[in-house]
Amino acid sequence: MSDIWHAWYSAEAEAVEMMGIECSMPIYLDAEGNHVKVTFVTREKELDYNCQWEDLQYRGEVYKWSNEN
């Protein structure tokens, strides 16, 4: 498996993206290989910036999908 990332999801942030802000996000999988819907990923489990999204939820550890896995 590749590097571990920490996944975060916010429907509010996703809605802004749908309003015309383009963002390319790789596919992230959990340890069982299930797709995890994310809006942000971080190296650390704690967010170290002032997040504006009130509905932000931690989704757990994920791995970036690669066709080489």
69 lies in a domain?
no
In a domain, 34, yes or no: yes
For residue 47, the enclosing domain spans 4-64
Q: Domain for residue 42, yes or no? A: yes
pLDDT of residue 51: 72
CA 10/CA 40 separation, integer angstroms: 8
**40 in any annotated domain:** yes
**Tally of CB atoms within 10 A around 56:** 17
pLDDT of residue 17: 60
Q: Note the pLDDT of residue 45.
A: 85
Question: Is 14 inside any structural domain?
Answer: yes
Tens digits of residue pLDDT in 2-55: 689 999 998 988 887 655 555 566 889 999 999 999 988 888 888 766 677 889
User: Domain total for the chain?
Assistant: 1
